[in-house]
Copies of this chain bind each other. A is one copy, B any other.
């Protein structure tokens, strides 16, 4: 167990799957993802953590102090979006490993007395870009998603999760270490902390989200010959829907509603035949459930109008949703104690994005922390957090872990 420099490790880790634009491309189960997982395996080993993988490829680094006791679990994810940033998820895994390492050093020096075991986790496929749904590893861990169902998911090339994971030659177990509590640190992915001049965000809740698959059905025809008034052009209908979904936000107070369409498949996608069918996603998020409900009503009216104008049929199917969910108050109190001791500027904040912690907090006491994202860039190579903020975050997570390992949060809340 040797002392390691966080920034040096961060640099090495970020070189795996690096893109020319300063980001990373490490979609779940790709060669780049398996390479960074191998790097983490070596890092675990150098830090005195023993690797343990469960059946869905969640990668744990374990340090057992109390045989049979549950674990303080710290972590995030190393997989990325296509052409993504190098901080998203990866910063949290490395911060977890370094926080754990520091806690281990304090325990070894006799300055801290553990009443739980300690583990770092790299959750498999948090991003969900190659294999849907997102947060796959933590969803299987918490029992929200069946293992067999997750392993059978295929990417666009028809490769299954099981096949992608089989390329990594490691031993996987049916069991995973049992968590007593969980802590995660992540870049904010928005501009709030930076604008407010705060270093640490204490996440007290999630925005609500509703996700849909939207299918627009028309009838294919000749791009030149078919008279305009006779067309049932599915891509025209889809385009009007995408515009309506985006401009929905203007009907609500600024910042209350986020909407996106980010995926699109069309048939036949041919230069001289306009589309007969288009499938898109729809992602609605708000910090206010009333706004979400109102947005759905307005969009439904617009959907009907688009069906009439574009002569198409639109079906909208809810595929995933979560409400406005609070994080544990005892965890927030613990984290606020730590941030005050460290004398860092902080604020309470909500997360718009989903995280593995949004799964974990339904099972065990959970602390979720943010550090600033410059200009709020996310899922983009330009994503950036300063070294100073990253290091402050590691200190913060270390402070939280030191309290968790003594059983503080578990005793207070269970």
Residues of A within 8 A of B (CB): 81-84, 127-129, 132, 134, 188-191, 207, 209, 211, 219-230, 233, 235-236, 238-240, 242-243, 246, 249, 254-255, 257-264, 266-276, 281, 283, 285, 351-354, 375-380, 382
Contacts and interface: CB of A to CB of B under 8 A. Distances in A.
A281 B273 contact: no
B271 A263 contact: yes
Nearest to A381: B220
From A224, A233, A352, A379, residue with most partner B Cβ within 10 Å: A224
Nearest to A273: B379
Contact of A83 (B127, B207, B260, B268): B268
A134 B276 contact: no
B378 A221 contact: yes
A188 to B, nearest CB: 8
B261 A134 contact: no
B226 A236 contact: no
A271 B224 contact: no
A357 to B, nearest CB: 14
B379 A272 contact: yes
A268 B81 contact: yes
A224 B207 contact: yes
Contacts of A285: 224
Given A225-B352, A227-B255, A353-B224, A260 B283 contact: no
Given A132-B271, A283-B272, A233 B246 contact: yes
15 contacts: A81-B270, A82-B273, A129-B270, A191-B227, A219-B380, A221-B378, A224-B260, A226-B377, A226-B379, A227-B258, A228-B258, A240-B243, A243-B243, A260-B274, A263-B270
A130 to B, nearest CB: 8
Contacts of A211: 271
B283 A223 contact: yes
A380 B262 contact: no
Nearest to A225: B189
A260 to B, nearest CB: 4
A269 to B, nearest CB: 5
A243 B236 contact: yes
Contacts of A353: 222, 224-225, 272
A275 B262 contact: yes
A207 B271 CA distance: 17
A268 B156 CA distance: 13
A271 B281 contact: yes
Contacts of A264: 235, 264, 266, 269
B225 A134 contact: no
A190 B226 contact: yes
A285 B226 CA distance: 11
A224 B226 CA distance: 39
A222 B378 contact: yes
A378 B276 CA distance: 12
Given A227-B190, A243-B243, A271 B262 contact: yes
Given A240-B243, A262-B235, A271-B129, A226 B82 contact: no
A276 to B, nearest CB: 7
